[in-house]
Amino acid sequence: MMPLLDGLVVVDLCQFLSGPYASLRLQDLGARVIKIERPDGGDLSRRLYLSDTEIGGDSTIFHAINRSKESLALDLKDPADLAALKKLLTRADVLLQNFRPGVIARLGLDYDTVRAINPGIVYASITGYGDEGPWVDRPGQDLLAQARSGVMWLNGDADQGPVPFGLAVADMLAGAAVAQGVLAALVRRGRTGTGAHIETSLIEALVDFQFEVLTTHLNDGHRPPKRSAFRSAHAYLAAPYGVYRTADGWLAIAMTPIGRLADLLQIEALAPYRDDPGSWFTERDAIKRSIAGLLETQPTAHWLAILEPADIWCAKVLDWPELMASDGFKALDMLQTVTREDNVSIVTTRSPLRIDGERARTRRAAPLIGEQSQSIRKEFGL
C-alpha cells in the first residue's frame, strides 16, 4: 500500500510533545519527518522520564513520540548550520515549530522569511497561549495550560477542588489540531500551489476540547459546572452516569433511565425518582449512592450478566493488563515493536488510523541525536 503522504518531507523543529505529536501523526500517514535537534543533547524530551525506564539512553516518551523519524543535528545559532537548514527548507513540504513567541523570528525562521525561500511550504506553529495578550510569555506547559483553561473543574467529585487530567491532553490535542490544519493546507496547495501558516496553542486546543459544555455554559445564564459529590464522571450528566465499585472491581454505567435500573436491579429506594427525569440530576448523589450500595455486594460479572442482556450501557473498568489480555484489544492489533541498529528495541503503539482496511506499521525506533545527519546532508547538498 502506498502511504497517503508518501514523498512529502516534514521538517520538525519542535521539542517535547505537542509538535512532535503532530509530526508523528503525519509520519504515520507516510510523510518523511526530519527532526532537527541540537547537537549537544537534542530534544529535551529525551530526558523527560515518565518512570525509571531508559532505553538506549533516552526516555520511553521520546521513543513513543519520535518513532521512525530521522534526526539531523544542527546548531541554529551557527550561521553555517542555519544556512543548511534554510537550504533544506527549499525542498520541504511542511515546517513545524513550537518555540515561544518571538524566538523563531530571532532565529530568522519566521513564516514570512521561510515563505520567501519556499512559497509553497505549509508552516505550522504551536504556542502556549497564542501570540497576543498577557499570557504570551508564560511557559506553554500542559499542566499550566489545563490550569488556565477551566477544564480541571470538570474532573473529580465536587469536594475535590480542581482535578487535572492524568495525560498531557493539551499537548496531544494541539498536535492533532495542527496535523488536521496541515493536511487541509496540503490539499489547497495541491490545487493552487499556495502554502499556508497554520497556528494553534495549548489554550485554544483546550477551549475547543470543551466546546460542548462551554456552549451550554454560555447559553444557560453562565451557570458554573456542578460536579456530583459522589462518583462524579461528568459535571453536566444526570444519574446514574458514573463508575461504581463492585465486590471485585469497578463497573461504569452511562446514560440509563432510572426506572429501568430500578426494575432490573430491584432497588426500592429509586422508586421516588423513576418517573421524574429532572430529579436524576438534582438528586443524582442520592440516586447514585443507592445504586452503589447494591453494586458493591456482588462481583462485576454478576451485574454485567443482568445489565448487558437488557441493553444497559455499561462496561467493566479494565486496567492495562486486563486491556492487553482482552480479545477486543488483540483484534485491533494496536502494538508494534520498533528497533534500531544499536540493538535498541521498544514495544509501542501503532497509528490509530486504518487506510483501506490496513493499519500502517513501522519498523524503525526513534533516532539517535543526528543519526541521519550525514546521509541527509549528502542527499540535500547541505
**HEC letters along 259-297:** HHHHHHHCCHHHHHHCCCCCHHHHCHHHHHHHHHHHHCC
How many Cα atoms sit within 13 Å of 130 on the Cβ side?
9
Tell me which fold the domain 9-209+331-380 belongs to: Rossmann fold (3.40.50)
For position 278, what pLDDT does the model report? Answer: 96
Rounded distance between C-alpha atoms, residue 18 and residue 183, angstroms: 16
Share of the chain above pLDDT 70, in %: 100
Q: Is 178 helix (H, G, I), strand (E, B) or coil?
A: helix
For position 350, what pLDDT does the model report? Answer: 96
Check pLDDT > 90 for residue 52: no
pLDDT tens per residue, range 19-32: 999 999 999 999 99
pLDDT tens per residue, range 305-343: 999 999 999 999 999 999 999 999 999 999 999 999 899
- Given a contact cutoff of 8 angstroms between Cβ atoms, the answer to whether 96 and 124 are in contact is yes
Rounded distance between C-alpha atoms, residue 355 and residue 299, angstroms: 40
For position 326, what pLDDT does the model report? Answer: 96
Check pLDDT > 90 for residue 241: yes
Residues 337-352: what's their mean pLDDT? 95
Catalytic residue IDs: 171
> In whole numbers, what is the pLDDT of the chain averaged over residues?
96
Phi, psi at 125, each rounded to 5°: -125, 135
Q: For the chain, which residues make up each domain, given as ranges?
A: 9-209+331-380, 242-325
Question: Cβ of 41: how many Cβ atoms within 10 Å?
Answer: 10
Instruction: Give the position of cell 528495541.
Output: 345
Check pLDDT > 90 for residue 2: no
Check pLDDT > 90 for residue 49: no
Check pLDDT > 90 for residue 183: yes
Rounded distance between C-alpha atoms, residue 240 and residue 247, angstroms: 18
Same fold, 9-209+331-380 and 242-325: no
Asked if the bond preceding 277 is cis, omega within 30° of 0, the reply is no
Residues 13-41: what's their mean pLDDT? 97
Check pLDDT > 90 for residue 1: no
pLDDT tens per residue, range 184-234: 999 999 999 999 999 999 999 999 999 999 999 999 999 999 999 999 999
- Band of residue 115 on the pLDDT scale cut at 50, 70, 90: very high
For position 285, what pLDDT does the model report? Answer: 96
Domain formed by 242-325, architecture = 2-Layer Sandwich (3.30)
For position 13, what pLDDT does the model report? Answer: 98
